[in-house]
Amino acid sequence: MHRSGGVRYDESIVRSILVKTASADYPVYVGSGLVAGFGNHLRKITGKRAGRTFVLTSPNIWALWGRQFISGFKPGEAPEVLFMPSGERHKRLSSIERLATELSAAGADRSSLLVAFGGGIIGDTGGFLAAIYMRGIPYIQIPTTLLAQVDSSVGGKTGVNLSTGKNLVGSFHHPLAVFADTDVLRTLPARELRAGLFESVKAGIIRDPRLFRYLEEKRDQVLACEPSAMMYVVSASVKMKAEVVGIDERESGMRMVLNFGHTLGHAIEAVTGYRSLLHGEAIAWGMLAALNVCRSRHLLPEKDARRMEQLIRAYGPLPGFRAKIPALLHAAGRDKKNKAGTRRFVVTSGIGRAHVIEDVTDAELAAALEPVLNEAAR
Amino acid sequence: MHRSGGVRYDESIVRSILVKTASADYPVYVGSGLVAGFGNHLRKITGKRAGRTFVLTSPNIWALWGRQFISGFKPGEAPEVLFMPSGERHKRLSSIERLATELSAAGADRSSLLVAFGGGIIGDTGGFLAAIYMRGIPYIQIPTTLLAQVDSSVGGKTGVNLSTGKNLVGSFHHPLAVFADTDVLRTLPARELRAGLFESVKAGIIRDPRLFRYLEEKRDQVLACEPSAMMYVVSASVKMKAEVVGIDERESGMRMVLNFGHTLGHAIEAVTGYRSLLHGEAIAWGMLAALNVCRSRHLLPEKDARRMEQLIRAYGPLPGFRAKIPALLHAAGRDKKNKAGTRRFVVTSGIGRAHVIEDVTDAELAAALEPVLNEAAR
């Protein structure tokens, strides 16, 4: 396939990033045509597997991309399809129960492979299903949202929600491979694209000054979802996460920096009932609040703080919300990353640098939240 | 505490068996007074842990042993108790959901420890809860049935049932330690004791001729639950399993020999709706059928076959049941150990020896089952 701009897109334009962790190594492919070519890729990856392939997807994704997906398989070899409706409320153990029962009724065994083809909810649920079905079967991720491509599909975290909080049950289970097809981003609603970009902004802030600059300079191309821009943004974000996860698979230390903006972002999501904001938008608000903590501690040059703030706002507008400080602090106290009472918090000391502090106080967080809440309530 | 026979039982009479696997090493303590001393042992194992301790148990076990359990803790340090009713029907994801929500509402975090105090159902469910709560928290097993002591508490397999089959969802998650207190076996119903002993009989058949002989010669002491006999039987069974699991943690080969009698035993359980037989009893019937397969293949000396049969019957009587061969073969086809159509089957070639064959046919299994079903239907 050729594009008018002189940039050639075909299967050969695929970048491969290797995620290396203590427990598994696997490639993340980023590029164009990956969904349409998946049947071929699968044969290459799994060789002459005797096992069967199952796909978990959502009706929406299947309506948009199902035909392309099937097109890469030989007649009669197309995998069986399991469906899960869109929406965070389906990311629960009850879905796992239903899907596992369907797998078992269809005769899936330990040699079967599950492909999670959808956004983060499909990826997290499908990964967890693969993690616990018969105590673990292999799986492959084909993330279809930007957020899932740059964040949730890499790192091996899988899980579902409880009524008391998000991702409170789950497993570490790495995929055999991840296929991040930049083509599918074209069918993503603009708001979801922007929300996903905040994780790339975070990647720039905490570890990749070059990506940070790219997002500053190429804002228009990125927001227009231009293939070369998405290719760069997705690969750079994945590479950053792969490096961090490779150093610290189980979040004993280093991996926690990925949580920049997330302590308060998660709290904002929880307090607003996961309704008014997309995940990335809540993280963006959380990053603005985290920057206030860094500022009041004089951790980073004001120039950097301002560039970070500007970059976050450049990918807005951020939808407003209403929340009270005590409720947010209470919700932040429930974060999985807290151990036995201490509250960990990720700060930045300059573009491309982040570290974890353990002594952040409620008063500090309240002061940092106040201007953010005022702005959000306008 | 002294016994009239001149054998002294106190805390020092505790054997420790180390389970060494690729992913974790942990001790299994076998002996007397372990429940009463648990509070002390826990302090020794975990040191100055900042985290909280939660206990999952059944109302029955708690009524019998709760006071003893609590007695080893300092006032104010007793752990919080979560309950799960007895019965296989509670070993489901819905219980996991409820218990995880209770943990989260009580503020359990990644530094919390879960103690599974009960039979195999509590152990499997509690282990799985620990495996997936916040993607994994540490746990300790205090198995209170013989079956759980000699089998399910060792090896790291955790999980729950689906409507389509037992243990179809789960994780590998090793405990920090296992405390197998032979005292608690005294409150076990006689039928459950005998059912558990079939796993020890299996241990003798597949790998431990000395245990096999002990079970032949000391039948009366074992069935009377004499402390020294239980100490030997439990330690030898645990040691056998620890060795096998140490060689093959994830059941890629060697570990499968533990499944002697289980392919057909599981099928019998499934077809009889998990109602008429206890697990160990179904395994005993399954071993009798497996011996028929070995005989018709001339795999083992008739003298050994007869001793094995006699030993199984010595720990009977086995309750009868009714089942049809096609239903059993169908149920056996669903076993987790089958990979992509091949049917694996464990055979013995003599006392203390077992291996896996892959070419067992339905006709062979049918012929092996026939006399067993006739006997069971009487």
| CATH at residue B308 | 1.20.1090.10
Is B165 touching A (CB cutoff 8 A)?
Answer: yes
Name chain A contacts of B340, Cβ cutoff 8 Å: 50-52, 109, 111
Q: Is the ipTM of this complex over 0.90?
A: no
Examine the domain organization and report whether A183 and A138 are in the same domain: yes
B132 touches chain A (CB under 8 A): yes
Same domain, A105 and A223: no
Per-residue pLDDT reduced to its tens digit, B162-182 = 998 889 999 999 999 999 999
Contacts of A172 in chain B (CB under 8 A): 135-136
pLDDT of residue A3: 36
Tell me if A120 is assigned to some domain: yes
Q: Are residues A183 and A266 in the same domain?
A: no
* A229 and A373 in a common domain: yes
Mean pLDDT, rounded, for B33-62: 89
Domain-ending residue, one of B146, B162, B189: B189
Query: How many domains in chain B?
Result: 2
pLDDT digits (tens, 9 = 90+) for B217-270: 999 999 999 999 999 999 999 999 999 988 876 666 778 999 999 999 999 998
- CATH of residue A169: 3.40.50.1970
Last residue of a domain, one of B132, B164, B189: B189
Looking at the structure, tell me whether residues A176 and A296 fall in a common domain.
no
Contacts of A135 in chain B (CB under 8 A): 157, 159, 169-172, 336
Is A27 inside any structural domain?
yes
Q: Is residue A1 part of a domain?
A: no
Same domain, A178 and A203: no
Judgement on whether residues A363 and A273 belong to the same structural domain of the protein: yes
pLDDT of residue B342: 63
Percentage, residues of chain A above pLDDT 90: 78
Q: What is the pLDDT of residue A335?
A: 60
Q: What is the pLDDT of residue A8?
A: 38
Report whether pLDDT(A142) > 90.
yes
Q: Quote the CA–CA distance of B207 and A20 in Å, as a whole number.
A: 39
Considering the domain architecture, whether residues A63 and A167 belong to the same structural domain is answered as: yes
- Do B181 and B222 share a domain, yes or no? no
Residue B333 lies in a domain: yes
**B54-70, pLDDT tens digit by residue?**
999 999 999 999 999 99
Asked if the C-beta of A100 comes within 8 angstroms of chain B's C-beta atoms, the answer is yes
- Per-residue pLDDT of A263-316, as tens digits, reads 999 999 989 988 889 999 999 999 999 999 999 999 999 999 999 999 999 999
Asked whether residue B7 is assigned to any structural domain, the reply reads no
- Contact between chains at A339 and B94 (C-beta distance less than 8 A): no
Distance from CA of B157 to the nearest CA of A (A): 8
Q: Are residues A178 and A206 in the same domain?
A: no
- Residue A342 in any domain: the answer is yes
**Would an 8 Å CB–CB cutoff place A101 in contact with chain B?**
yes
Residue A4 falls inside a structural domain: no
Q: Indicate the residue among A188, A205, A240 that finishes a domain.
A: A188
For residue A133, the chain B residues in CB contact (below 8 A) are 168-169
Same domain assignment for residues B84 and B35: yes
> Mean pLDDT of all residues in chain A?
91
A93 in B contact zone (CB under 8 Å): yes
Strands A353-357, A345-350: parallel, antiparallel or unpaired by DSSP?
antiparallel
Structural domain boundaries enclosing B18: 14-189
Residue B47 near chain A (CB below 8 Å): no
Q: Which of A136, A162, A339 sits opposite B104 (nearest CB)?
A: A162
A161 and A204 belong to one structural domain: no
Cβ–Cβ below 8 Å for B104 and A159: no
pLDDT at B6 (0 to 100): 34
Chain A: give the shortest CA distance to residue B135, in Å. Answer: 5
Residue A335 lies inside a defined structural domain of this protein:
yes
